[in-house]
Amino acid sequence: MRLFSKIVITSMILSIFSLLASVIAVGNDLRLHSTNDKRNAESDVYEVSGPLYKKVILERIYLDGEVSEEIVNETIWSMEDFWALYADWQLVEQNDEQIVFMRHIEDISPLLKANGYFGINDNGVLMIFEGKPAGGSRVIQSFYQIDIGKLESHQHDLLKRGIPVESKDKYNQVIEAFKHFQASVP
């Protein structure tokens, strides 16, 4: 019976050592995958002394040319997880202080949806204004010159008052609808 007890105890001790070795190996593996802190001069092994803190700038470029910028402060525990998080973004710049990513958005900007109006300026150029066209509104985007003489009066009045942009579909519809009235270039 004593022999059986010694075998069981010895087996348990070996299992505990095996488990500890596995935990240590996983810990070492995590240190190998980081790019933070001290590099061992004799190999390509990196040692981690804690998480990596980075300022991440996310630039979104919309169809209408607007660029929005969002700043996120990231705590990075695993570079693999970090890069997976931004897999759909294009890396623009990376340095010690920050990482800049860019993404083209196949939609119009939130600014345009909320406060953009198609209209024409005094020269008959189709434009999008921030707010209604009258009263010196800021021009967001310019397109092409319209031959005002070809427009029906209600179309001309509509452009003078402003056509709200509201959506990507409406944006494309208005541009296409008024292409037929584009002035020919001499």
Q: Which tens digit of pLDDT belongs to each residue from 80-125?
A: 999 999 999 999 999 988 999 999 999 999 988 988 999 988 888 8
CATH 3.10.20.420 range(s) for the chain read: 52-104
pLDDT for position 90? 96
pLDDT tier for residue 31 given thresholds of 50, 70 and 90:
very low
Domain 52-104 top-level CATH class: alpha beta
Report if pTM > 0.75.
no
CATH topology of domain 110-179: Alpha-Beta Plaits (3.30.70)
Please determine, for residue 7, whether its predicted confidence score (pLDDT) is greater than 70.
no
Dihedral (CA of 74, 78, 79, 85) sign: negative
CATH 3.30.70.1740 range(s) for the chain read: 110-179
Burial of 109 (0-12, 13-18, 19+ CB in 10 A): buried
